[in-house]
Amino acid sequence: RIETSVRRLSKLTNIRVFRFVNAGDHIQLILQVQSRKAFNKFVRAFSGHVARVVLDAEKGRARERKFWIARPFTRILSWKQE
């Protein structure tokens, strides 16, 4: 369900997913984004979806339950495309 969510949200926000790894206690993504606005939209939507899936909660119904303890860790990567 989580990988499906990544693929769906990436299409909605025009973000290209190069790699998705669900390591159990964290998720690794390598993305190509066109704008910071699109990236922020993706991260907000994806974070909410993961929390709802893990907590088995409906949208807007898990306010008394905390899931995330920190903001998402991100790093900017660059590489040469040949």
pLDDT beyond 90 at 75: no
d(C-alpha 33, C-alpha 14), whole Å: 7
* pLDDT tens, position by position, 2-22: 888 889 999 999 999 999 998
d(C-alpha 82, C-alpha 22), whole Å: 29
- With beta carbons less than 8 A apart as the criterion, state whether 15 and 38 touch: yes
- In 3D space, the residue among 23, 15, 68, 73 whose CA is nearest the CA of residue 41 turns out to be 15
* pLDDT tens, position by position, 17-68: 999 998 877 888 999 998 889 999 998 888 888 877 777 766 666 566 666 6
Give the sign of the dihedral formed by CA 51, CA 53, CA 56, CA 57.
positive
pLDDT at 62: 57
Q: Using a cut of 0.85, tell me whether the model's pTM lies above it.
A: no
